[in-house]
A and B are shown apart, each in its own frame.
Chain A
Amino acid sequence: MAGIGWKLEALLERDSLGSAASAFLTGVAVTSGPWLLTTLVLVLMRLSAAESEITGIADAERIVTIVYAGVIVMGAPADIVLSRFAADRVYERNCAQIAAPLRRVLAVCLLVFAVAGAGAMALCDIPAPMALPGAVLTAIVGGQWLLLSAAGGLSSPGIILRAFAFGAPASVLAALALSHPLVLGPTGYLYGFGAGQLVTLGLLLWGTLHALPSEEDEDARILPAFRHYWVLAAAAFAFHAGLWVDKLVIYFRAGGEVASAYAALAAVAWLSVVPACAYVFVCIETVFHRRFRAYYRALHTGASLHDLESLATELQREVGRTLRGAASVQAGVTLLCALLAPLVVAKLGLADHATTLRWLLVGAAAQVLALAGTLLLYYFDFRVEAFITALTQLVASGLFTFLVDAPAVHLGAGYAAACAVTCAVGVGLLRWRMGRLLEHTFQSQPYGTED
């Protein structure tokens, strides 16, 4: 991320409105590009399908939802470990060790997700003509998110954006073309969408392998990274499971129709965090990163205790500034979105759910702050605290949704309460850790080298 950080710094240093906007738009593209494009594709396809009145398209949409939910949750541990593995090798200037493990993990991932996808289709009683493309789509999306993580670890946002920029329209066009009643209908929707995602996967693979050196270390192993980063893997699983658990609870307690509306509104609400994500990204990659480097560089360049304390204090303040800035941005966006909620729900054909959308907007606002806190915890390698935050989201979201939302009276209120609790936990842990940054920096150092 250092490369993108310098670019952002250069943009911000121009000190003009246009350059600042460019910096934040870059932040939007990098942090939210892939899922924004994916969401856009799904929304566009839904709207187009609704206009063309293809029967059975809802089943295809449900399969896509199942695929994404399953892949994102189940693949999260491997994705985060691969990302860290790649980032570590880049840091060590040992990129030759990335390609071979990446290929092996990708092969395993495609196989496992194909089998898991087939299993999920069978469990959901999906008929065979749709189960087949459903299983294939699971494998493709699984591989795609894995490579997304690898490219992230390689600090190559260009690879990601290029792949999704081509893959997204390809998905829309292919899905619409093949889902026409005269072609394949709902099954064609899945094949077309899968084909577009395959294009994304192929471009990601091509870009990632081209970003790596031609020399390869075939003996490189990724398994030790799973042992080393198991807390991160667990945190990633908990975080992503936390994104879906409320939908699952609603599905089982209030039925598929309510759950479908809830999921659609949650996806829309989550769009409101894009500006805050971009803000956090730009802050972390520029001023914060500079202070972060200054602090850790000072440790090894003979800084006195007084200097270190000053730098640690500056870093703590920067963390506070980043969170407060993100909160301000998010508050503005949430307020605006809350005012526009009736219009949005009417457009989506869910006019009765304006209150639900408002609750979900509040929840998303709290969750993005928790996410920012978690990212900062990761930055300082406070893995256990990051895991606690993610686990809080998972447990609270499931529990509060069960207790508050189930009667479908205050749909979204449970999620909002859960996110507020998670935000308090995450930010609280971050504040506590930052208050003892100097102690942690030193006292967590292992002693001895003769292992």
Chain B
Amino acid sequence: MSTTDQTDYIDGTSGKRYDAHVALVLEGSYPYIAGGVSSWVHQLLCACPQRRFALLHIGPHEGAYQKRLYELPPNVSVLREMHCRGGDEHAPRRRRRPSTGPLRLGPTKKPSRMLAAFRRLHLTDTVDDELIADLASGDLSVAEFLHGDATFDLLRRELYEQLSPGAPFMDFFWHFRSMHVPLLRLLAAPIPDVALYHAVATGYAGVVGAVASYRAGRPLVVTEHGIYAREREMELSRAGWIQATGGSTQGASPLRRLWTHYFRMLSRIAYHRAARVLTLSESNRVKQVADGADPAKIRVVPNGVDATPPPEPKPALAPKGDRMRVGFVGRVVPIKDVITLIRACALARERVDLEVWVVGPENEDAAYAKRCRGLVQMLGLDDHIKFLGPQKVSEIYPQLDVVLLTSLSEGQPLVILEAYAAGVPVVATDVGACRELVEGRDEEDRELGPSGIVTRVANPPETAMALVKLAQDPSLRAAMGRAGMARVSARYQLCQVVASYETLYTSMVSA
């Protein structure tokens, strides 16, 4: 746990002394990981200089992130690290371990409320104030959870029998531990006293925000870029560390179901406690409602970019028959499905001449990045697909003809807005808000015309077709570039986003 530059913030209305005005609860993002969420956070911090922010960053373990990729603005008064794993829970602690029966704590001899909450997380679908209160009780230490008899009784007598009878018990046991130890550690960590908690995701960040909000009696706002539970579900469906067998004869494995339900419940906790749930697109809003969020709480606040004054529309760079330059801007990680991008470019190159720039960090999942480079080499495309690493993107966009995005999941990609601001059309998969960004959100927006092409997820031939179409028709590219520029100017201005959040912060704090 580390803290930087503690500075008090005194609320002008109530006179209460806070560590900061707003605490942003972040998970695996700003200021250590580059990406859409981090860029958005940085934009927000810089655009609200009059507010003091505390940043609570949830990482896997101490030392996982060495270097900050963003320079913290002066209005960030606290940066606190919270870790899912640590060194204090390793060894069994016999002295703390109750000998028999349900877990008893202190002289009151009451069963652990947190353990009761864990039970509910797995066995029910509903979230209420009592569940959050139980989680906030803090009456279960990591050592008691790991080595106490009550935990094992719960696991053995109820959870295993109801959730995955017949599955390998050892796997079930370790998965159960792996789920809850991070939660226990995070909920036991000290949280700054602030006027408003703002979780920039659901998941662990959402629960930490919800419990902190409950304990402090302060409101919680949740902003979801990608839908956390859905993204985890997608990762789980591909995860090799969950065995597909073991007690399951149909559908997903019991362990996968266990995790999926767990993440959904984490999201529901955040949704339940939040006074406002913000998301980037209408499609996300629909998913949030399906996942249990109260529709009345949800507001769509799209991303925005600073597109004023709009640059000159970019002319078609290359005449027909010349090499078209395609850019991918983002982290080289599985969720961006760079493998599909490479395969699509390889297919397109059979018909048109392409040069592809992969712009973004490769260190978040080095094995995956290595796999991507290996594929490029195997396909003999070293001269055509270049990995440029992190670059100053404002200098990259003007050199591109098309921005290509093959993500498996997105919220509302800033990359698309940045490309539009530079007059570059996009080819993007049909995830998150991509379709409404490309084709328009409503009738008025659609009248601007398409600003790119939407393709299906993980479909290299379809993506290749889109690239071929744009490569063969420079006038189409130019028209789409103009449409994108008009769209971003009309609807996705940063100042609009900042105004929305300023209004929200003010109303929440005064409430």
Contacts and interface: CB of A to CB of B under 8 A. Distances in A.
A438 B149 CA distance: 11
Given A302-B246, A304-B247, A305-B156, A451 B90 contact: yes
B86 A448 contact: yes
Nearest to A444: B92
Contacts of B146: 443, 445, 447
A438 B169 CA distance: 11
Given A439-B149, A444-B147, A305 B89 contact: no
Interface stretch (B159-167, B263-271, B451-459, B492-500): B159-167
Give the interface centre of A308, A384, A445, A447 by most chain B CB atoms within 10 Å: A447
B152 A439 contact: yes
B148 A443 contact: yes
Given A304-B247, A305-B160, A446 B91 contact: yes
Interface of A is mostly: loop
A303 B170 CA distance: 8
B92 A442 contact: no
B320 interface: no
Contact of B169 (A303, A384, A439, A444): A303
Contacts of A447: 89-90, 142, 146, 177, 181
Interface residues of A, number: 20
B87 interface: yes
A442 B90 contact: no
Interface in B342-364: none
B85 interface: yes
Given A299-B170, A302-B246, A304-B167, A443 B86 contact: no
Interface in A303-333: 303-306, 308
A394 to B, nearest CB: 22
A303 B168 contact: yes
A299 to B, nearest CB: 5
Contacts of A443: 92, 97, 146-149, 151-152
Interface residues of B, number: 34
B349 to A, nearest CB: 44
Contact of A304 (B151, B169, B177): B169
Contacts, number: 61
Contacts of B97: 443
B85 A302 contact: no
A299 B171 CA distance: 9
Most buried by A among B86, B152, B160, B166: B152
Given A442-B152, A446-B90, A447-B89, A308 B181 contact: no
Contacts of A306: 166
A14 interface: no
Given A448-B86, A450-B61, A302 B168 contact: yes
Interface string A409-451: 0000000000000000000000000000011001111111011
A439 B87 CA distance: 23
B65 interface: no
Given A305-B156, A443-B151, A450 B87 contact: yes
A443 B168 CA distance: 16
A300 interface: yes
Contact of A300 (B90, B149, B170, B172): B170
Contacts of A299: 170
Contact of A448 (B85, B169, B243): B85
B173 interface: yes
B92 A305 contact: no
A444 B92 CA distance: 6
Contacts of A305: 156, 160-161, 165, 169, 172
A300 B246 CA distance: 13
Given A305-B156, A439-B149, A446 B92 contact: yes
Given A443-B152, A444-B147, A450-B85, A304 B90 contact: no
A439 B100 CA distance: 10
Contacts of B165: 304-305
Contacts of A439: 149, 152
Interface centre among B87, B91, B147, B177, by most chain A C-beta atoms within 10 angstroms, is B147
Nearest to A307: B169
Contacts of B87: 448, 450-451
Contacts of B148: 443
B376 to A, nearest CB: 34
Interface in B79-95: 85-87, 89-92, 94
Nearest to A449: B90
A439 B167 CA distance: 18
Which of A443, A445, A450 gathers most chain B CB within 10 Å?
A443
B260 to A, nearest CB: 21
Contact of A308 (B149, B169, B243, B247): B169
Contacts of A304: 165-169, 247
Nearest to A302: B168
A365 B29 CA distance: 68
Question: Which residue among A300, A303, A384, A450 has the maximum number of chain B CB atoms within 10 Å of its CB?
Answer: A450
A450 B64 CA distance: 12
Contacts of B147: 443-444
A448 B246 CA distance: 24
Nearest to B85: A448
A438 B156 CA distance: 10
Contact of A302 (B89, B142, B152, B171): B171
A299 B174 CA distance: 12
A445 B181 CA distance: 14
A448 B90 contact: yes
Contacts of B91: 446
Contacts of A303: 168-170
A446 B170 CA distance: 14
Interface in A276-306: 299-300, 302-306
A442 B173 contact: yes
Contacts of B243: 302
A445 B168 CA distance: 17
Contacts of A300: 170
B175 to A, nearest CB: 13
B130 to A, nearest CB: 28
B435 to A, nearest CB: 43
A169 to B, nearest CB: 50
Interface string B420-448: 00000000000000000000000000000
A384 B246 CA distance: 36
A354 to B, nearest CB: 46
Interface in B123-180: 142, 146-149, 151-152, 156, 160-161, 165-173, 177
27 contacts: A299-B170, A302-B171, A302-B246, A303-B168, A304-B168, A304-B169, A304-B247, A305-B156, A305-B161, A306-B166, A439-B152, A443-B146, A443-B148, A443-B149, A443-B151, A444-B92, A445-B92, A446-B90, A446-B91, A447-B142, A447-B146, A447-B181, A448-B87, A448-B90, A450-B61, A450-B87, A451-B87
The 9 lowest CB-CB distance pairs between A and B, nearest first, are A302-B168, A305-B169, A448-B90, A446-B90, A444-B92, A443-B147, A304-B166, A439-B152, A447-B146
Given A443-B92, A450-B85, 7 more contacts: A302-B168, A302-B171, A306-B166, A308-B169, A445-B92, A448-B85, A448-B90
